[in-house]
Structure 1
Amino acid sequence: MSTISSLFVTRLYHAPLSEHGPAIDAEEMENSCFAIAEDDEAGQQWCEDNAYPGYTSYASLTDLPWRFPIFADLVKSLDAHVASFAEDLEFDLDGRKLVLEDLWINILPEGGYHAAHIHPHSVISGTTYVSMPEGASALKLEDPRHAMMMAAPPRRKDAREEMRNFIYVKPAVGDVLLWESWLRHEVVMNQSEDERVSVSFNYRWE
Structure 2
Amino acid sequence: MPQINSLFVTRLYRAALSELGKSPTPDALEDSCLGIAEDDTAGQDWCEEHKFPGYTSYASLDDLAWRDPVFKDLVKLIDKHVAAFAKDLAFDLDGKKLKMDSIWINILPQGGIHTSHIHPHSVISGTTYVSVPPGAGALKLEDPRLPMMMATPTRTKDAPEGLQNFVFVAPEPGEIVLWESWLRHEVPMNMAEDDRISISFNYNWG
Normalised to the residue count of structure 2, the TM-score between the two structures is 0.99
1:1-206 correspondence runs (5 A): 1-206=1-206
1:22–1:74 contact (8 Å) kept in structure 2: no
Contact 1:107 1:197 in 2 (8 A): yes
Task: State the Cα deviation string for residues 95-120 of structure 1 (Å, max 9, x = none).
Answer: 01100000000000000000000000
Q: Distance in 1 between matches of 2:13 and 2:98?
A: 16
What secondary structure does 1:33 align onto? helix
Q: Residue 23 of structure 1: CA displacement? A: 2.3
Which segments of 5 or more consecutive residues in structure 1 lack a partner in the other structure? none
Matched-pair contact (CA < 8 Å) for 1:135–1:191: yes
Note the alpha carbon deviations across 1:110-163, whole angstroms, 9 max, x for none: 000000000000000000000011111110000000000011110000100000
* Contact 1:125/1:200 (<8 A) preserved: yes
Identity of aligned residues (%): 65
Pairwise CA distance, 1:45? 0.7
**Matched residues, number:** 206
Distance 1:90 1:112 in 2: 36
Looking at structure 1, the residues matched to 23 and 160 of structure 2 have their Cα atoms a distance apart, in angstroms, of 36
Shift of 1:22: 2.9
Paired with 2:192 and 2:69, the residues of 1 have a C-alpha distance of 30
Cα deviation, residue 25, structure 1 = 2.0
Supply the distance in 1 between the matched residues of 2:138 and 2:170 (Cα, whole angstroms): 5
Structure-2 separation of matches of 1:192 and 1:3: 46
Q: Secondary structure of the equivalent of 1:76?
A: helix
- 8 Å CA contact retained: 2:123, 2:204: yes
TM-score (norm 1): 0.99
Provide the rounded CA distance (Å) in 2 between the counterparts of 1:179 and 1:119: 10
Moved over 2 A (4+): none
Q: Distance in 1 between matches of 2:118 and 2:26?
A: 27
Distance in 2 between residues matched to 1:75 and 1:102, nearest whole Å? 10
RMSD (Å), alpha carbons? 0.7
Give, in whole Å, the separation in 2 of the partners of 1:91 and 1:99.
14
Structure 2 Cα separation of the partners of residues 28 and 164 of structure 1: 36
Structure 2 residue identity aligned to 1:169: V
Structure 1, 22-31 or 173-182: larger mean CA deviation: 22-31
Runs (5+) with no aligned partner, structure 2 = none
Deviations 1:8-40 (A, max 9, x none): 000000000001133212211101100111110
Q: Distance in 1 between matches of 2:125 and 2:107?
A: 18
